A and B are shown apart, each in its own frame.
Chain A
């Protein structure tokens, strides 16, 4: 906070400067972000910064595009599925090439999926219950077929995160049978629109556009490269953007975004996001085990405070599912502040007079979460409930959330689903999500779990949709969390950056670099 205030003072003395870097005739976009890219191995890990790089260096069979998160053909020109939803056949584009010139073949696709499944890290959890290595078959050099062990409705929705690697390059760089893991940490074997130019871990990562990218480029002014520079202080990111030393900055505070939006030469595009914020309550231990107390809390909370904290750049949740999720329904009479109802439920609870202290755990340094804690203290005081605020580090939050015994009464949690398929959200309330940070409620409802299992193994959308409508209502009724808000996604951007394409399934700071162009001379 102190650092942020000092750096904010600096901005008063700053005047806008020029823009992007130029190397020869290439216009290089400078992106400043706070998060490192420790690995780019598509089988090992993903988060927003890692996936921004993976999406630029690699291609997948299909890709999420645009604000509606449409799944469009990419390496696969077309695909078909069997009537029982177990067999998926993809036909590859014949002109797709890896960066070293090798064709992208069905064998490369098979090998890449098998590698990710075998290493059992990164995105493997998305398919490991439904796809085994022997279920992937090369039909011919441009046709690959997946036979699932049982129908899996969301199959296509997770395929965009399974990137295809060049097996020849990876196996040539194996060290002591590590499946190329060491090499792929900082090297790529992809077919994507960019390749690596410089890789300085902990400092900067530079990509160079592949001029003859097999898919072509959407704009003649496409960026010639991208430098992703690590700037860890949000206020320093803001300074870099205003000075013109950066073309895109992510992760600024709500106030920062509002301020830079007024600066000449800076724009702040804003989109409705899929990242939910909620105060997860421990439903298995302590006072919050009592569903009536949880309902009392949910009705006592001042939800408008969320909007104030984000200066209006957020929308309130009216279902456990984000609005962009397929099959979302607004749950009737969803929780809003109603002190009469709150007192009614408190009276029904085991704590009719309040008198208990609840712990609110939040991420140390995130001012918005601290403010939410203050709102909670104020609101729950009206019910005679006390709130103790505990600021801690992310590792501690994850550790505490992993066990019923340590999971706090309230855990402040942002969650971004991996796809627009409703299973991506519903499964967060399944028993299988216990132990994960977003499963810190240890939510239990056999009926809901059975519905989730049924819905994900149902093929036809017409059959799945009513199941998810029911799931949303049931979860809402059990109130495992104070359902909060969906924060709008914003980036600070110089106005010569064009072609920005938002997709809600991309993680918080993640930008699809492929369509970006620079129009300034």
Chain B
């Protein structure tokens, strides 16, 4: 098992390096002159050159790649031409907001998707199943930005129940940082008003981001549950007089959860990528919005940083899913050992 884990971690490193190469190459072939943009419209050529030299953009691509890679090993993600800040500082500022958004969205997707998938399978072809199907098809078909705008329209503007966007009200006090996760810090500091305000602002983006994941989880879980419920060992358990709910929850669900877990893991990575749209719609100050604004300014160093962070999290989620398999399925544990 230890060898299996070590192998997976090593593979993760290789994958990350591959991602780094691809991201670096793409960032440097797109048209645009970031130094000229950052220097401002009136800047003379000498001023642009000053900036290029300051940010190392006057070096060869190979040298830039080596410098960047060395920096990464020290945790240095380079400098943003747009924010004039280190990308590591910017990521540290914005990533916790995205992490909170994605985590809350995933929790919601799992909390609703798994039970609904299970119920749809158990009560197949009833109104529960039909309702779930409508939800899962919509979740896959409806674009996130459209859903976000509709929620803003109805819930925020028409009904006035929730804020239109942003992270907090303009005058709400930020909790002094402990974990840099706003909601958690509000709890730890006992700032309940801030927590309430933060949650109110989180509802619409969380619902928007979680909807496609919820739909996928629901569909996969339903399909797996249906298959599992027809297995011989389930029939056997029922024949031996085990109660309906016990069979479903303890035997069928656990076996059906393996593909569902894969879906959850993959969805975590996709959702981090999906924050680009949702954060733009809701003005949520996370890495998605940071990446969009950087990309629009041809500021490729932050874009590379965000890509690597999202990629790393995606791979990490996959790794955890693989390890989770072993926990759920003893046969895999033995194979891995």
Q: Indicate, yes or no, whether A interacts with B.
A: yes
Q: Which residues of A contact B (CB under 8 A)?
A: 3, 6-7, 9-10, 13-14, 21, 23, 28, 30, 36, 38-39, 41, 44-47, 119-122, 124-126, 128, 181-182, 185, 200-204, 227, 229-232, 236, 239-240, 243, 245, 393-396, 398-400, 402, 418, 432, 435-438
Q: With an 8 A cutoff between CB atoms, is B165 at the interface? A: yes
Contact A398 B149 (CB under 8 A): no
Contact digits for B19-51, partner A, Cβ 8 Å, 1 yes 0 no: 000000000000111101111111111110011
Q: With an 8 A cutoff between CB atoms, is B166 at the interface? A: yes
> Which residue of B33, B47, B84, B171 contacts A398 across the interface (Cβ within 8 Å)?
B33
**Distance between Cα atoms of A402 and B41 in the complex (Å):** 11
In the complex formed, the residue of A with least CB distance to B81 is A38
Smallest CB separation, B322 vs chain A (Å)? 35
In the complex formed, the residue of A with least CB distance to B50 is A120
> Which residue of B164, B285, B296 contacts A395 across the interface (Cβ within 8 Å)?
B296
Stretch in contact with the other chain, from B5-13, B151-159, B191-199, B245-253:
B151-159
Contact B158 A125 (CB under 8 A): no
**Distance between Cα atoms of A202 and B164 in the complex (Å):** 17
Which of B47, B170, B296 has most A Cβ within 10 Å? B170
Contact B297 A395 (CB under 8 A): yes
Contact A236 B31 (CB under 8 A): no
Q: With an 8 A cutoff between CB atoms, is B255 at the interface? A: no
In chain B between 132 and 188, which residues have their CB closer than 8 angstroms to a CB of chain A?
A: 145-146, 149-150, 152-153, 157-158, 164-167, 170-171, 174
Contact B94 A121 (CB under 8 A): no
In the complex formed, the residue of B with least CB distance to A45 is B40
Smallest CB separation, A456 vs chain B (Å)? 15
- Chain B hits for A236, CB < 8 A: 164-165, 283
In the complex formed, the residue of A with least CB distance to B163 is A245
Q: With an 8 A cutoff between CB atoms, is B272 at the interface? A: no
Q: A39-B83, A394-B297 are in contact. List 17 more A-B contacts (CB 8 A).
A: A3-B149, A121-B43, A121-B47, A182-B84, A182-B85, A201-B83, A202-B293, A203-B283, A227-B170, A229-B170, A232-B283, A239-B164, A394-B37, A398-B41, A399-B31, A399-B33, A432-B44
**Distance between Cα atoms of A396 and B295 in the complex (Å):** 11
Q: With an 8 A cutoff between CB atoms, is B69 at the interface? A: no
**Distance between Cα atoms of A122 and B44 in the complex (Å):** 10
- Chain A hits for B40, CB < 8 A: 45-47, 121-122
Smallest CB separation, B133 vs chain A (Å)? 27
**Distance between Cα atoms of A100 and B158 in the complex (Å):** 47
In the complex formed, the residue of A with least CB distance to B293 is A36
Contact B41 A395 (CB under 8 A): no
In chain B between 204 and 254, which residues have their CB closer than 8 angstroms to a CB of chain A?
A: none
The 7 closest A-B pairs by CB, nearest first: A395-B298, A395-B32, A13-B158, A203-B285, A6-B149, A38-B83, A10-B153
Q: With an 8 A cutoff between CB atoms, is B280 at the interface? A: yes
In the complex formed, the residue of A with least CB distance to B143 is A2
**Distance between Cα atoms of A6 and B296 in the complex (Å):** 23
Given A120-B47, A125-B43: A7 and B149 interface contact (C-beta under 8 Å): yes
Contact A436 B41 (CB under 8 A): yes
Contact A438 B47 (CB under 8 A): no
26 pairs, A vs B, C-beta closer than 8 Å: A10-B149, A10-B152, A10-B157, A36-B82, A38-B82, A121-B39, A121-B43, A182-B85, A185-B83, A203-B283, A229-B170, A230-B283, A231-B165, A232-B283, A240-B164, A395-B296, A396-B31, A398-B32, A398-B33, A398-B41, A399-B31, A399-B298, A402-B36, A418-B42, A436-B43, A437-B41
Contact digits for B72-86, partner A, Cβ 8 Å, 1 yes 0 no: 000000000011110
- Chain B hits for A41, CB < 8 A: 84
Given A39-B83, A203-B166, A239-B164: A398 and B158 interface contact (C-beta under 8 Å): no
**Distance between Cα atoms of A432 and B171 in the complex (Å):** 47
- Chain A hits for B41, CB < 8 A: 398, 436-438
- Chain B hits for A203, CB < 8 A: 166-167, 283, 285
Contact B50 A30 (CB under 8 A): no
Given A39-B84, A120-B46, A395-B297: A13 and B153 interface contact (C-beta under 8 Å): yes
Smallest CB separation, B99 vs chain A (Å)? 16
**Distance between Cα atoms of A239 and B32 in the complex (Å):** 34
- Chain A hits for B45, CB < 8 A: 435
Given A13-B158, A44-B84, A396-B31: A125 and B47 interface contact (C-beta under 8 Å): yes
**Distance between Cα atoms of A16 and B153 in the complex (Å):** 15
Contact B32 A396 (CB under 8 A): yes
Which of B47, B82, B93 has most A Cβ within 10 Å? B47
Which of A46, A126, A203, A230 has most B Cβ within 10 Å? A203
- Chain B hits for A243, CB < 8 A: 157
Q: With an 8 A cutoff between CB atoms, is B289 at the interface? A: yes
Smallest CB separation, A276 vs chain B (Å)? 14
Given A6-B149, A120-B47: A200 and B285 interface contact (C-beta under 8 Å): yes
Contact B33 A402 (CB under 8 A): yes
- Chain B hits for A28, CB < 8 A: 170-171
Q: With an 8 A cutoff between CB atoms, is B268 at the interface? A: no
**Distance between Cα atoms of A185 and B83 in the complex (Å):** 8
**Distance between Cα atoms of A23 and B172 in the complex (Å):** 10
Contact A393 B296 (CB under 8 A): yes
Q: With an 8 A cutoff between CB atoms, is B95 at the interface? A: no
- Chain A hits for B44, CB < 8 A: 125, 128, 432
**Distance between Cα atoms of A3 and B282 in the complex (Å):** 12
**Distance between Cα atoms of A28 and B170 in the complex (Å):** 10
- Chain B hits for A46, CB < 8 A: 40
Contact B36 A6 (CB under 8 A): no
**Distance between Cα atoms of A236 and B157 in the complex (Å):** 11
- Chain A hits for B290, CB < 8 A: 202
In the complex formed, the residue of B with least CB distance to A37 is B83
**Distance between Cα atoms of A13 and B149 in the complex (Å):** 14
- Chain A hits for B297, CB < 8 A: 394-395
Smallest CB separation, A100 vs chain B (Å)? 23
**Distance between Cα atoms of A343 and B100 in the complex (Å):** 64
**Distance between Cα atoms of A396 and B31 in the complex (Å):** 6
Contact B146 A6 (CB under 8 A): yes
Contact B280 A202 (CB under 8 A): no
In the complex formed, the residue of A with least CB distance to B38 is A45
Smallest CB separation, A270 vs chain B (Å)? 25
Smallest CB separation, A406 vs chain B (Å)? 9
